[in-house]
Amino acid sequence: MSTPARVGRGLSSLPVSRTDTDASWLDAEAIAAVLADDRREEAGRVREILAKARELGGLTIEDVAALIQIQDPALLDELFVSARWVKEAIYGKRIVLFAPLYISNLCGNACSYCAFSKDNTALKRRALSLDEIEREAEVLIAQGHKRLLLVAGESYPNGLRSVLDALEAIYALKIGSGEIRRINVNLAPLSVEEFRQLHAIGIGTYQLFQETYQRDLYAAVHLAGRKRDMDWRLTAPDRAMQAGIDDIGLGVLLGLGDWRFDVLALMAHAAHLEATFGAGCHTISVPRIEPAHGSLLSQSPLHPVSDADFKKLVAILRLAVPYTGLIMSTRETAQMRRATYALGVSQISAGSRTNPGGYAAHAETVALPDEGALEDFDASQFSLGDHRPLDEVVRELAELGYTPSFCTACYRNGRTGEDFMHWAKSADIKAKCGPNSVGTFMEYLLDYAQPETVLAGEAAIARDLAEMADADRRVANLILDRVRHGKRDVFC
């Protein structure tokens, strides 16, 4: 595979490896040295970095370290404004929606922060049958979802075959005009050959969180199981890309270690993928530790990340890797999620359940007085902060000036990996995102939305059309016309 110029201007200034087993690009001493060199906040330098970020070329790790130091409220405001500007310059106002689908909470690892830990005897263990998996997907399709993230604990009843069968079953489902068009997966590290099997099914993004890039801490919180092998996990994205999966999702679990170190290490990881395979990470997730049944550590994180630092790091990531999709999960409260929309977030989950079978159980439950009680915490991976249903989240996005999107056009058109990065880095992807987003949003409004959401959505689409360039508006109107006349899955 060809290797184009590295993203940004020196983001990969840390060592880069070229094999699927070598994690030498993770140089803890180099990262610590960069942090130590940027202990003072300098307004002039910060403003130079923000101006550089608006050129959409990304940032170096030294730039990121300088932005991490920001404490002055005025400079923070400038950081936040720049993050929103960069996101909208590349992707426009669209925010993609998806739902996680947990097929199992069986696990062979002992992780101190996770309810799925094999040592947690209080957890209700469950692996869904194919019939149960299909029922979960049917509920999500009936809500209007088009994208799923398939999640399982790191142990499967029939090995990888369990996952492959689940993917095939979900893709085969058709309910009226509804279907799942893209399934991303969050799975344990695999061998290259196993990744090839996953690729052959037609997955979207392969997502894997490193949890923390700090080796001593990683060893301290991963007590048993294959996950203790940090290098096996670090190099999983390399093996996935070697197998042909060119959309990779990275992330860290905020609250385990020093978030400043982990953010810089995450940048080094993205740079390594970019330099080695020609495509950096497709998405970045920033989950904070939330209470998990049976985990004392989750109740009192080792290095909790404040709301102020959380918002700052989200904005910094948007500037540092502007082409990347930033994901905000329902771990966060509705209020915090709302705040991060304006900081560069481009993908969110909605109506999530983190327990196997949770969607069907919820659909079959008659109006409980406490929405929070709907989640079966005894079988869930962690507790949620935002319990709102999909339609309520969609309506709020439209009312706040964003475009709810269920688009899967890039994946279906083969715009993945290097090709997607080309479109994103040049900011030309916006010309695709605008028309495709309003098209999938109109599908949702016609097929699933509540009346008040339809009103908000139609107003949002009219606003979007008015703000589009003439050529993009013509394409969008063609898509909308076909959707209004009964066509589905229309995209450019």
Q: Report, as an integer, the average pLDDT of 127-147.
A: 97
| Contact between 340 and 311 (Cβ < 8 Å) | yes
Q: How many CA atoms lie within 13 A of 411 on its CB side?
A: 22
| CB count in 10 Å sphere of residue 354 | 26
Sign of the four-CA dihedral 120, 122, 123, 125: positive
As a dihedral over the C-alpha atoms of residue 397, residue 398, residue 401, residue 403, rounded to 10 degrees, the angle is 80
Task: Determine the pLDDT at residue 9.
Answer: 30
Q: How many CA atoms lie within 13 A of 277 on its CB side?
A: 29
Does position 16 have pLDDT exceeding 80, yes or no?
no
Ordered structural domains, the chain, with CATH: 89-388 (3.20.20.70), 403-484 (no CATH)
Query: What is the chain's percent helix, strand, coil content, to nearest 5?
Result: 50, 10, 40
Does position 54 have pLDDT exceeding 70, yes or no?
yes
| Contact between 168 and 201 (Cβ < 8 Å) | yes
Does position 15 have pLDDT exceeding 60, yes or no?
no
CA 389 to CA 371: how far, in whole Å? 10
| 223-263 tens-digit pLDDT | 999 999 999 999 999 999 999 999 999 999 999 999 999 99
Token readout for 195 is 């990744």
Q: Report, as an integer, the average pLDDT of 180-197.
A: 96
Identify which of 24, 35, 26 has the alpha carbon closest to the alpha carbon of residue 261: 35
Task: Determine the pLDDT at residue 6.
Answer: 26
Does position 383 have pLDDT exceeding 80, yes or no?
no
Q: Residue type for 215, please?
A: R
Q: Report, as an integer, the average pLDDT of 195-209.
A: 96
Sign of the four-CA dihedral 209, 17, 416, 85: positive
Token readout for 189 is 């590290």
Task: Determine the pLDDT at residue 365.
Answer: 65
How many helices (H) and strands (E) would you count in the chain? 21, 11
Residues with Cβ < 8 Å from 366, sequence gap 6 or more? none
Q: With cut-offs at 50, 70 and 90, classify the pLDDT of residue 356.
A: very high
- Lowest-pLDDT range of 5-9, 45-49, 107-111, 294-298: 5-9
Percentage of residues of the chain with pLDDT beyond 70: 92
- Lowest-pLDDT range of 8-17, 124-133, 191-200: 8-17
Residues with Cβ < 8 Å from 277, sequence gap 6 or more? 1, 3, 238, 241, 246, 417, 418
| Contact between 394 and 406 (Cβ < 8 Å) | no
Token readout for 445 is 């409004």
Does position 337 have pLDDT exceeding 80, yes or no?
yes
CA 346 to CA 364: how far, in whole Å? 31
Alpha-carbon distance values, 369 to 150, 365, 366, 373, 374 (Å)? 29, 11, 10, 8, 9
Q: Give the phi and the psi of residue 370 in degrees, each rounded to 5.
A: -115, 110
CA 460 to CA 320: how far, in whole Å? 29
Task: Determine the pLDDT at residue 430.
Answer: 86
Alpha-carbon distance values, 434 to 95, 132, 151, 459 (Å)? 11, 36, 29, 15
CA 121 to CA 109: how far, in whole Å? 13
Q: Residue type for 371, please?
A: E
Residues with Cβ < 8 Å from 353, sequence gap 6 or more? 100, 102, 359, 361, 362, 375, 380
What's the N-to-C CA distance of the chain in angstroms?
Answer: 27
Task: Determine the pLDDT at residue 362.
Answer: 83
Q: With cut-offs at 50, 70 and 90, classify the pLDDT of residue 7.
A: very low
Sign of the four-CA dihedral 320, 276, 281, 94: positive
Label residue 151 exposed, middle or buried (CB < 10 Å: 0-12, 13-18, 19+).
Answer: buried
Task: Determine the pLDDT at residue 373.
Answer: 43
- Lowest-pLDDT range of 36-50, 60-74, 106-120, 363-377: 363-377
Beta bridge partners of 178: 175
Q: Residue type for 296, please?
A: L
Task: Determine the pLDDT at residue 366.
Answer: 41
| 392-450 tens-digit pLDDT | 999 999 999 999 999 998 888 889 888 888 888 888 888 888 999 999 999 999 999 99
Q: With cut-offs at 50, 70 and 90, classify the pLDDT of residue 22.
A: confident
- Give the strand pairing for 110-111 and 222-224: antiparallel
Does position 11 have pLDDT exceeding 50, yes or no?
no
| Contact between 270 and 11 (Cβ < 8 Å) | yes
Task: Determine the pLDDT at residue 112.
Answer: 94
Q: How many CA atoms lie within 13 A of 331 on its CB side?
A: 18
CA 71 to CA 48: how far, in whole Å? 16
Q: Residue type for 109, please?
A: N
| Contact between 378 and 293 (Cβ < 8 Å) | yes
Task: Determine the pLDDT at residue 369.
Answer: 41
CA 370 to CA 366: how far, in whole Å? 12
| 305-317 tens-digit pLDDT | 999 999 999 999 9
Task: Determine the pLDDT at residue 20.
Answer: 56
Token readout for 361 is 């159980």
CA 397 to CA 97: how far, in whole Å? 11
Task: Determine the pLDDT at residue 318.
Answer: 98
Mean pLDDT, all residues of the chain: 90
